Every structure is written in C-alpha cells, then in structure tokens.
Amino acid sequence: MSTTFTRHADRPFTADPVEEADVIIVGSGFAGLGLAMQLERDQNQSYLVLERADDVGGTWRDNTYPGVYCDVPSHLYSYSFRPNPDWSMVRSPGHEIYEYLQTAAREEGVLPQVRFGTTVLDAAWDEVSATWLVTTNKGTFRGRFFVPAMGLLSDSKVPEIPGMETFGGELFHSAAWDHDLPLTGKRVAIIGTGATAIQLVPELAEVAAELVVFQRSAAHVLPRRNRAYTPAERRMFARVPESRQGLRSAMFWFTESTFGERRRLPQSVAQVKAAVDSFREAEVPDQALRAALTPDYEIGCKRLLYSDDYYATFGRDHVSLETSALARIEGNTVIGASGNAYEVDVIVMATGFAAARPPFANIIRGREGVLLADHWATGMEAYQTITVSSFPNMFLLSAPSAATGHTSAVYTIEAQVQNVMEALDWVRANDCAVLEVRADAEAEFVDGVDRRGQGTVWTEGGCNSWYLDPGSGKLTLIWPDLAYRFADEISHFTPAAYVATPHRPRTDR
C-alpha cells in the first residue's frame, strides 16, 4: 500500500519537528499556486507550499517599482481556469496581477496550506524513506514529491561594481523598491535598459532633478498602446464567457504570429524592424541620440519591449543617456566605462535576476548527495522541462527551457502543471514509491530542444541575452518554438520515459 500523508487544511501550523505532506511545493507565484490550486481541487494528495515571504504573489508581490506592468495582455496572462472579467486595462499594472493571485489563493482554499516566512535552506532526497527532506528556518518538512516552483525572476542580480562600498547615497535593486525614500529633487542613476528600466525611466524622470541611464545595449521598443476596458466591456466579459474566451484565444494566436522574427524569417523581421525604426525616428528627432538608442543586434534576440514614453524621455534636458556600463563608483560619483562621470544621490539597479544559474540549484541534492547546480554545470536542462535524472520524485516548474519570448508564461506553466498532475495520478494508480526520468530520455529531449534553437535569433542574432547560460553559452531558458507546440509536447505525462519503483510489499510477521 502506498503512503499518503494527512491533509492539514484544518490544523494551524506549529513548530513540529517534521511536518509531512505528499507534495512539498516551494514558491507561491503563478507556478506554485497553479499546482497548489489543482491539488486542492483534486483532493487526492496532501500538499504544503513553502513561501519565504509573508504573502503569495511571487514576482508580482516583490516588484512594486513605479510604473510596473505586464507587457502581455491580461486576459492571456492569467489562469485559463480562473478568468478575470474585471481587468481594468488590456495590459494591467502590477498591483492588479498581485491582487488577482491573492484572490485566487484565498478563494481556491490554498492559503491554509501555505507556510509563510519559510526559507528553504536545504532539500535532500532520502534514499531509505524515498522522500524529500526539506530543511528551513521554520523547521523540517518531509514530502514524497518535491516541486521547486521558485521561477527564474525571484533572486535579484546585483553586479559587483568596484567602489560600491564607498557610495554615500542610497542604492537598491528595482525588485526591492524603497518606497520610504523620496526621490523628488534627487540625482538618480539607473543601471540597465531592460524591461524594468523601460517602465521605470519615464517615472523617475518625472521626479528626479537629474537622471542618468547607464545602457550597455539598447532595446528594441514599440509603442505600448494600452487602454482601459470600458464598463460595458467588463460587463460583457462577466455575463458572456464566450466573449472573454474568444478574446483570450485571439490574443494567444496574435502572439504566436510574432514568433516568425525569432526564427529569423525575413518578412517577419523586416515588418517588425520597420515598425521599431519608425517609432524610434518619430520619438527621437536628434540623430546622434537616435543612433545611441539603436540596438546592434537582431529583432527578438532580447525581449521586444513596449513603452509610449521611454524614447521621448531622453529628449528632456535633465535626462542623460550613458552608452556604457557602470565601471566604478567613487563616493557619490558614478563612472562609466567611457570615463564619463556623474554625481548622484541614488542608484537603482535594474539589472535583472539570477535566471540562467538560479540560486535554488545550490541547495537541492539528489541521489548520492549530488547538487543540482553541479548536475547543471553546463546549463539547466530537464526532460519535458520538468524532470531531472538522479533527482527522483522532483518536478520543476518554470525553469529550464520553459520561458517564452513572445507570449504568456502562464500558458506554459499550465502545461507543466497538467503534466505533473498526470504524473501524480499515474504514480498513485500504479502504487509507485519512486519515479525517476531515464537519463537517455532526458538527453534525447534536451538534444531536441538544442536542435530547435539552432538558427534562431537567440543563438545567431548577435546579442548576449539572459536566455543563454553564462558559462557554456547554451540556450537553456527559453523554449525555441511556438507556444502551442510546448503545450502539445509538455502537457502530458509519458510513463515510458521513466523508471518507476513500486512500494515494497508488506511482510506479516
């Protein structure tokens, strides 16, 4: 008989030596909550969610910088099984997405299973008991199955800049925004020109006395063209489900149609490039400035960004563009690789996240104590983007080869969650103790992903993007194909790819 741990929905958390559940999930963003809600609906497996913060929400809880929003339309950037007819805008601000996740967790009954303020220190596979032992700052947890669902945007990346310790002002990462610090009248430096900076720069320009933007590489930008939904539209979405379903479908297939530039199809690239160049020319009349804001890599190599006022901001007298990386800091002077120096009071690091080499890989140990980070020495990889050989009963969510550069991450997360739910059902039906993907199946899948990546803009587009492993240069983060193919190939569990070990039969004495 298989072991099933007791559900704890009606029991308050106590500091027991070991708290047990069938499934231990780490992280309560879209991925962790998505799986937890399906487990709650299914009621066949007990589960716990370990969350180091004091609320659910993941990246949308953490990122509260001025101007934060999602560049994917909200009716697509949400769970298919939890539609929200009341999105205020086509592309909603960050706080609405955060509130959406809070509401979903509460109404789906997940919150009693979440252990807030719980930081995972170590997670190790125990061969004897065929369970995962998870050590945290709040005690120890044991589960038959372990699901790291921390995502790739949970740990900020702050570069080590020579002289940083000498800075006499305020310095913080954009994902840890200091709302108590008034920026009005301050001299501000922002480091980076990625998705966060595109949203932040116009906001900071409104309040700062001086603003300097350090740009290592320029971004391809299109107008955002966002708009509010009318009350009539929102009533229609609520009363006529087919209307929002049709809109979601139209949004999905539109985003799929943009994949051509990632495959470097000449017509697709030329069409988008013309739109980007036309927008930049209209917004930046100064020829020298426009040249400085023009990328030297192909469209789609890095994520295409959307803003109505980013380019125009550089036409303001108090805004400077520094076209080199921040090289060093001397007191309150920030100095670019060009040698240009600026006196500032505040430094905002919009420098992204530790995505290609996620820190969680350094605390997860599989068979014989092998660290996941060592297993991934040449880059992240997993069978069907979910399972890793030598790490039994572990399912990754939103990690290797699961990001998309053109559509909604929630779409791919749902495909992964469906796979995990099918795997758990199969294990239960077949009374298995251990499920481990075969190394040859994993290698074959990874080779297939690598082949798809060949000839794409990510490997041949001339940019150094965060989608590539910094050590090996392999394309490890992004799914190099259409999203609907991801769903077709990932959303179903494939028993033949696994070695399943049954429970040991009981011996009556």
Q: Does domain 164-220+263-349 have CATH number 3.10.580.10?
A: no
Percent of the chain residues topping a pLDDT of 70: 96
166 three-state secondary structure: helix
Query: Domain boundaries in the chain?
Result: 18-155+354-502, 164-220+263-349
Displacement of CA 407 from its chain's centroid (Å): 13
Confidence of residue 354 (pLDDT cuts 50, 70, 90): confident
- C-alpha span between 130 and 467 (Å, rounded): 34
Average of per-residue pLDDT across 378-383: 96
Q: Render pLDDT for 85-124 as a digit per residue (tens, 0 to 9).
A: 999 999 999 999 999 999 999 999 999 999 999 999 999 9
Query: Which residue in 173, 216, 156, 159 sits closest to 354, CA to CA?
Result: 156
The pLDDT tens digits for 288-339 are 999 999 999 999 888 899 999 999 999 999 999 999 999 999 999 999 999 9
**Is-same-fold flag (18-155+354-502; 164-220+263-349)?**
yes
For residue 504, what pLDDT is reported? 67
pLDDT of residue 64: 97
Res 505: pLDDT: 54
What percent of the chain is modeled with pLDDT above 90? 89
Say what the pLDDT of residue 428 is: 95
pLDDT of residue 507: 41
Q: Which residue has 């992964």 as its token pair? A: 416
- 18-155+354-502, CATH topology level: FAD/NAD(P)-binding domain (3.50.50)
Token representation of residue 274: 């013309």
Q: What is the pLDDT of residues 228-260, one digit of tens each?
A: 999 999 999 999 999 999 999 999 999 999 999
- In this predicted structure, the answer to whether residue 7 has a pLDDT above a threshold of 70 is no
Tens digit of each residue's pLDDT (9 = 90 or more) over 191-236 = 999 999 999 999 999 999 999 999 999 999 999 999 999 999 999 9
Instruction: Please tell me what DSSP assigns to residue 262.
Output: T
Given this model, what pLDDT does residue 9 score? 38
pLDDT surpasses 90 at 356:
no
Q: What does the pLDDT average to over 493-497?
A: 98
User: Distance between alpha carbon 162 and the CA centroid of its chain, in Å?
Assistant: 29
Question: Within its chain, how far is the Cα of 197 from the centroid?
Answer: 17
CA angle at 155 for the pair 216 and 165, rounded to the nearest 5°: 65
What's the whole-number average pLDDT of the chain? 93
Residues 6+ apart with CB under 8 A from 284: 290, 293, 311, 312, 314, 315
